[in-house]
Amino acid sequence: MCKLTKTDSAVLSWYLETQYVNEIAERGYALAPNLDVPTPSRTKLTR
């Protein structure tokens, strides 16, 4: 296994975000959120 450095992590994050934006641009719309996925426990919901 290889270990990601801070620089590698930043580049990977930028690359994945760029890919996501390009896919949305090609399709013309974003996918609907998957509401079946549970909310992470660290996120507090306020109502």
| Nearest alpha carbon to residue 29 among 42, 38, 37, 20 | 20
Q: Are 12 and 4 in contact (CB under 8 A)?
A: yes
pLDDT at residue 45, as a whole number: 55
Tell me: pLDDT of 47 over 80.
Answer: no
- What are the structural domain ranges in the chain? 1-29
Give the integer Cα–Cα distance in Å for 20 and 14. 10
- Between residues 2 and 17, the one the model is more confident about: 17
- Between residues 47 and 11, the one the model is more confident about: 11
pLDDT at residue 26, as a whole number: 84
Average pLDDT over residues 10-34: 83
- What is the chain's mean pLDDT, rounded? 76
Average pLDDT over residues 21-34: 77
Give the integer Cα–Cα distance in Å for 14 and 27. 20
